[in-house]
Amino acid sequence: MKPRRLPSIDRPWLVATLAAAVMIAVLMLIGSFNATSNSAFFCRSKVVDRGIMPVQLHSILHYATTRAVPQQSAREVHVTFDVLFSIYPCNFLVFGLGHDSLMWASLNPNGFTMFLEEDPNWVRTILTKAPNIRVHSVEYKTHVYDAKNLLAHYKTEPTCLPPKLFLNGNTKCRLVLSDLPNEIYSKEWDVIMIDGPRGYQPELPGRMAAIYTAAVMARLRTRPGVTHVILHDVNRRVERVYAEKFLCKKHLVKGVERLWHFAIPSATKEDTKKVNTFFC
């Protein structure tokens, strides 16, 4: 008997369509395996450390069961949310602990989020609610009543400006936070939020040193990309004046209610040589 000939495929588009359909089916099959990886069939193959609760789960539980809400408005929170959403996982440094801390840590999945707080009692209070966030205590040596003098000081103290400017251990420049843990100086921060320390009365520390230190970190960044600096409470004069001086109006991306968002590029070699224009 004469063998039957297979019909010849004379339409290449049909072959291409069939191949694509098979590929999609395989991909969907793989996807469905992943989607069901928590099902009874697959769950035993995954090792989950139940001693460590992901910060996002902790956050949902916390915010669903508390009446204490962040002080920033929803529109202000959205500014930082948008920045984090566009670059996470990232290095995120936050000045000031609050009812928002667990939210910020959760909005940087797989990133590194660190909080700096002046008040040890407030650290303890927040850590009882959010035990898995990273916090360091900071001692500020400034006072709001000194804000004007400090603006004169940084111009005359050589270690406040290049080429002698440095952060870690710089006790001469009063605007530098000089005794933070080493990991704060060794990391390059992608996002820095300044919502602390307190600065609503003359004898409180004020945000001068936080703003200055954040500006130096941003300008000395060696990694590609900008440093996003987000400053709250710009309705206050000190915050506004220091922001304009060190974070610079030309780097201001957005202002929403009492919040300013800056995207600060690293200083060029030329910027570093021109002391007067190092920041702006």
What whole-number distance in Å separates Cα of residue 67 and Cα of residue 129?
13
Contact window for ligand SAM (CB under 6 A) among 11-19, 54-62, 118-126, 161-169: 118-126
Tokens standing for residue 233:
């409470």
Q: Which is nearer to ligand SAM, 100 or 239 (CB)?
A: 100
Q: Smallest gap, in angstroms, from Cβ of residue 212 to ligand SAM? A: 17
The single-letter DSSP state of residue 162 is T
Cβ neighbour number for residue 39 with a 10 Å cutoff: 9
Contact window for ligand SAM (CB under 6 A) among 42-50, 127-135, 170-178, 195-203: 195-203
Angle ∠(31,33,34) on CA atoms, nearest 5: 65
Q: Smallest gap, in angstroms, from Cβ of residue 122 to ligand SAM? A: 4
β-pairing verdict for 227-232 and 259-264: antiparallel
Q: Which is nearer to ligand SAM, 225 or 255 (CB)?
A: 255
Residue 205 sits in the site that holds ligand SAM (CB under 6 A) = no
Contact window for ligand SAM (CB under 6 A) among 115-123, 218-226, 234-242, 244-252: 115-123
Q: At what angle do helices 147-156 and 208-219 cross, to 10 degrees?
A: 40
Which residue number places its CB atom closest to ligand SAM?
Answer: 98
Q: Smallest gap, in angstroms, from Cβ of residue 34 to ligand SAM? A: 37
Q: Which is nearer to ligand SAM, 105 or 220 (CB)?
A: 105
Residue 196 sits in the site that holds ligand SAM (CB under 6 A) = yes
Residues contacting residue 66 through CB under 8 Å, at least 6 positions apart = 99, 129
Backbone φ and ψ for 123, nearest 5 degrees, come out as -60, -50
Amino acid identity of residue 66, one-letter, is T
What whole-number distance in Å separates Cα of residue 215 and Cα of residue 155?
15
* Count of residues engaged in binding ligand SAM, rule: CB under 6 A: 16
Longest CA–CA span in the chain (Å) reads 106
> Measured between alpha carbons, how far is residue 127 from residues 23, 47, 64, 134, 227 in Å?
50, 28, 18, 9, 28
Q: Smallest gap, in angstroms, from Cβ of residue 104 to ligand SAM? A: 9
Residues in 94-113 that interact with ligand SAM by CB under 6 A: 96-100
Residue 72 sits in the site that holds ligand SAM (CB under 6 A) = yes
Residue 206 sits in the site that holds ligand SAM (CB under 6 A) = no
Tokens 């609050």 belong to residue: 98
Q: Smallest gap, in angstroms, from Cβ of residue 117 to ligand SAM? A: 5
Residue 63 sits in the site that holds ligand SAM (CB under 6 A) = no
Residue 195 sits in the site that holds ligand SAM (CB under 6 A) = yes
Q: Which is nearer to ligand SAM, 154 or 189 (CB)?
A: 189
> Measured between alpha carbons, how far is residue 128 from residues 7, 62, 71, 255 in Å?
74, 11, 19, 33
The residues binding ligand SAM (CB under 6 A) are: 70-72, 96-100, 117-119, 122, 195-198
